């Protein structure tokens, strides 16, 4: 008799997958809460809670639809806490004749499952997750023989392929990209909306984690866990985004402010990364909403949003599968420093960093510009080892799964890949942070000052970064201007000395 064991990983909660079209009495779905997954990096507590809650809800939904599910909670005595060991044991004791899994998105799990299957002794088959809009190899093939692999080229291809924001062969609005319109600082706080939250009681999970000795970072209110953990809740967050936030998304997507942690960002990354929502349905829902409300919502808002999902998200996945495992070792600048301890407390006098880190600890969330131009910018200027930076980002955010974390962190943010993802490092002095928001107005440091007491560390570190990496960056046509400015500056040595002093005292900044 055929007996099939099908694995569903914690980030494979796609209820629309063809596996679940009809219940089948010869199929058992396996879902596991495991120490292997809680411990491979130190996660934010909200991330672990978010995964476990979503998995439990998904398993319950499957059971209600008539599917057979074998679910092991973290404290189940039967739980071996290791994926391969558990699959081997179940196949042996329960007499499964076939093992099936969906292709994992992480290299680590991909390797583990291949090894697991190699000595399982029964036929094994891997299935597509039916989630992404391009397959793992698409990007590699797409850029074969081409000189550069720019996101923008890939994005335009995706727009055409899926007929998104297209008017026949041309982009709607006559332009592919409205980025230049989308760089405003927020001046009017009355525009802000409250996020659509789904407060839940999660003490049973926080107690489970504490009793099991799982080591976590970050804060949580066990009486009000606010992230969407089911498809229904995720669809509500998507709808709320269309109705209340899309109208200003693009304009303020690069804004930084102490007024609100989310601004007009969607808070959909966790739902997308667990596959509670599909990228195509998000893109199409947003496009359809915009089509019906073009008198209120500009094209720059909707294009800015769709580019993140149809463009950046798919592109990062393509880069991951094209470049792993080597990508995980890249350190273009040879940076070696450790992250200062205040990355785990928010306890620094630099207001932009203190706000962004404290918010990350409280909410397991920071928006893109906080990640890129505040924490990431500082880590790169300060010469922190990319391994350290990766571990921090992989742990702290609710949406952090390696395929999208490492490409953003090591690639886009730290330029440790030497220019695979980005054409130049995303670094700035205080000028950019000041222009984009209100962090600097209440900071202990002075954004205008480059040297001396109270000078903003971003300023001297920015020049130090360029000076120390001159041989690696000077030939980049997008950076030449920076060196021409530097060479004309009369106080270069003073700036370098100031930066050296800050680098020697990172912990005290």
Contact residues for ligand SF4, defined by CB under 6 A: 350-352, 430, 433-434, 439-440, 443, 445, 447, 456, 458
CB of 367 closer than 8 Å to CB of 263: yes
To ligand SF4, the closest distance from the beta carbon of 258 in angstroms equals 10
With CB under 6 A as the contact rule, which of the stretches 109-117, 292-300, 397-405, 481-489 interacts with ligand FAD?
397-405
Q: Which has the closest alpha carbon to 375: 328, 335, 414, 405? A: 414
Name which position in 52, 393, 432, 445 contacts ligand FAD (CB under 6 A). 393
Among 17, 43, 265, 385, binds ligand FAD (CB under 6 A): 265
Residue 372: contacted member of ligand FAD, ligand SF4, none (CB under 5 to 8 Å, by partner type): ligand FAD
54 binds ligand FAD per the rule CB under 6 A: no
Interaction mask 357-386, ligand FAD, x per CB under 6 A: ----------xx--xx---x----------
Task: Say whether residue 409 binds ligand FAD (CB under 6 A).
Answer: yes
Residue 440's binding partner out of ligand FAD, ligand SF4, none, with CB under 5 to 8 Å set by partner kind: ligand SF4
As beta bridge partners, residue 124 has: 99
Nearer to ligand FAD by Cβ, of 8 and 306: the residue is 306
Location of structure tokens 């100031």: 498
Structure tokens at 215: 């080591």
Binding residue (CB under 6 A) for ligand FAD from 129, 182, 278, 413: 413
| Binding-site partner at residue 502 among ligand SF4, ligand FAD, none, CB < 5 to 8 Å by type | none
HSE, side-chain direction, 13 A CA sphere, residue 157 = 16
267 binds ligand FAD (CB under 6 A): yes
Nearest residue to 130 via CA among 279, 341, 5: 279
Q: In the complex with ligand FAD, which residue's Cβ is closer, 131 or 450?
A: 131
Selection from ligand SF4, ligand FAD, none that 131 binds (CB < 5 to 8 A by kind) is none
443 binds, among ligand FAD, ligand SF4, none (CB under 5 to 8 A by kind): ligand SF4
Which residue do the tokens 């690069």 mark? Answer: 254
Q: Quote the DSSP letter at residue 422.
A: -
Contact pattern from residue 273 through residue 312 relative to ligand FAD, giving x for each residue in contact according to CB under 6 A and a dash for the rest? x----------------------------------xx--x
Cα four-point dihedral sign 429, 434, 436, 441:
positive
351 or 414: whose CB is closer to ligand SF4? 351
Neighbours of 213 (CB within 10 A): 9
**Contacted by 456, from ligand FAD, ligand SF4, none: CB < 5 to 8 Å by type:** ligand SF4
**Which sign, positive or negative, has the C-alpha torsion 231, 237, 243, 248?**
negative
Which letter does DSSP use for residue 101 in this model? E
CB 389 within 8 Å of CB 379 = yes
DSSP string of 13-75, one letter each residue? --TTSGGGSS--TTEEEEEE--HHHHHTTT-BHHHHHHHHHHHHHHHHHHHHTT-EEEEE-TT
Token pair belonging to 42: 């130190």
d(CA 275, CA 130): 9
Q: Any contact of residue 322 with ligand FAD (CB under 6 A)? A: no
Give the whole-angstrom CA distance, residue 112 versus residue 123: 16
CA-closest candidate to residue 215, choices 43, 392, 473, 465: 43
Spatial separation of the C-alpha atoms in residues 330 and 336, rounded to whole Å: 12
- Residue 237, SS3 per DSSP: helix
Task: Give the Å distances, CA to CA, from 363 to 41, 224, 327, 372, 393.
Answer: 18, 11, 29, 17, 14
Q: Which does 276 bind (CB under 5 to 8 A by kind): ligand FAD, ligand SF4, none?
A: none
Task: In angstroms, give the least distance from the CB of 11 to ligand FAD.
Answer: 11
Residue 399: CB minimum distance to ligand FAD, A: 4
Residue with Cβ nearer ligand SF4 (201 or 448): 448
Distance, CA of 492 to chain centre? 37
Residue 301 or residue 409: which is nearer to ligand FAD going by CB?
Answer: 409
- Closer to ligand SF4 by CB, 54 or 429: give it: 429
At its nearest, how many Å lie between ligand SF4 and the CB of residue 462?
A: 10
Report the partner that residue 271 touches, choosing among ligand SF4, ligand FAD, none (CB closer than 5 to 8 A by kind): none
Tell me the closest approach of the beta carbon of residue 430 to ligand SF4, in angstroms: 4
Q: Binding partner of residue 412 among ligand FAD, ligand SF4, none, CB under 5 to 8 Å per kind? A: ligand FAD
Helices (H) and strands (E) in the chain, counts: 23, 7
For residues 443 and 352, is the Cβ–Cβ distance under 8 A? Answer: yes
265 interface partner picked from ligand SF4, ligand FAD, none, CB below 5 to 8 A per type: ligand FAD
* Distance (Å, whole) CA 35 – CA 82: 7
In this chain, which of 228, 405, 439, 502 binds ligand FAD, going by CB under 6 A?
A: 405
Residues binding ligand FAD: what is the number (CB under 6 A)? Answer: 27
One residue of 278, 360, 408, 429 binding ligand FAD per CB under 6 A = 408
Residues ≥6 apart with Cβ < 8 Å to 413: 371, 372, 376, 377, 379, 380, 389, 426
We find the least distance from the C-beta atom of residue 254 to ligand SF4, in angstroms, to be: 15
Q: Does residue 442 have a cis peptide bond before it, meaning omega lies within 30 degrees of 0? A: no
Q: Does 234 interact with ligand FAD (rule: CB under 6 A)?
A: no
Residues lying near ligand FAD in the complex (CB under 6 A) are found at 265-269, 272-273, 308-309, 312-313, 316, 367-368, 371-372, 376, 393, 397, 399-400, 404-405, 408-409, 412-413
């Amino acid at each position: 008799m055929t007996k099939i064991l099908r694995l569903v990983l914690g980030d494979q909660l796609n209820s629309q997958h063809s596996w679940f079209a009809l219940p089948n009495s010869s199929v058992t779905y396996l879902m596991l809460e495991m120490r292997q997954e809680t411990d491979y990096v130190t996660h934010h507590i909200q991330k672990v809670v978010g995964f476990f809650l979503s998995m439990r809800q998904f398993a319950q939904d499957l059971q209600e639809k008539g599917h057979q599910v074998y679910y092991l909670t973290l404290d189940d005595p039967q739980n071996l806490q290791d994926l391969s060991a558990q699959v081997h044991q179940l196949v042996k004791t329960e007499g499964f004749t076939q093992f099936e899994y969906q292709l994992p998105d992480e290299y680590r799990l991909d390797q583990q499952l291949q090894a697991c299957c190699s000595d399982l002794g029964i036929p094994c088959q891997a299935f597509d997750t039916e989630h992404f809009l391009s397959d793992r190899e698409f990007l590699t093939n797409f850029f074969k023989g081409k000189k550069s692999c720019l996101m923008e080229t890939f994005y335009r291809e995706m727009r055409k392929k899926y007929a998104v924001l297209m008017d026949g062969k041309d982009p709607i609005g006559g332009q592919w990209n409205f980025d230049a319109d989308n760089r405003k600082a927020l001046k009017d706080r009355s525009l802000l909306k409250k996020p659509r939250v789904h407060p839940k009681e999660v003490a049973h999970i926080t107690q489970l984690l504490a009793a099991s000795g799982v080591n976590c970072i970050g804060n949580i209110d066990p009486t009000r866990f606010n992230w969407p953990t089911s498809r229904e809740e995720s669809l509500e967050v998507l709808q709320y985004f269309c109705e209340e936030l899309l109208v200003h998304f693009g304009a303020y997507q690069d804004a930084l402010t102490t007024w609100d942690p989310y601004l007009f960002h969607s808070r959909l990354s966790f739902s997308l990364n667990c596959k509670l929502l599909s990228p195509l349905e998000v893109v199409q829902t947003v496009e359809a909403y915009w089509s019906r409300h073009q008198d209120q919502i500009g094209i720059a808002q909707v294009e800015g949003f769709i580019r993140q999902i149809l463009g950046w998200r798919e592109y990062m996945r393509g880069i991951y599968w094209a470049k792993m495992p080597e990508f995980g070792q890249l350190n273009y600048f040879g940076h070696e420093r450790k992250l200062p301890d205040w990355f785990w407390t928010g306890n620094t006098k630099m207001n932009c960093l203190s706000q962004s880190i404290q918010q990350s600890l409280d909410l397991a969330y920071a928006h893109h510009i906080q990640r890129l131009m505040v924490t990431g910018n500082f880590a790169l200027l300060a010469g922190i080892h990319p391994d350290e930076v990766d571990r921090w980002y992989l742990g702290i955010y609710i949406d952090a799964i390696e395929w999208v974390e490492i490409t953003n962190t090591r690639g886009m943010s730290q330029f440790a890949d030497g220019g695979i993802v980005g054409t130049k490092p995303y670094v700035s002095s205080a000028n950019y942070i000041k222009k984009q928001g209100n962090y600097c107005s209440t900071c202990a440091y002075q954004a205008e000052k480059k040297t001396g007491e109270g000078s903003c560390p971003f300023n001297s570190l920015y020049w130090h970064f360029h000076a120390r990496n001159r041989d690696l960056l000077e030939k980049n046509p997008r950076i030449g201007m920076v060196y021409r400015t530097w060479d004309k500056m009369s106080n270069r040595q003073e700036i370098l000395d100031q930066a050296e002093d800050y680098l020697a005292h990172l912990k005290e900044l």
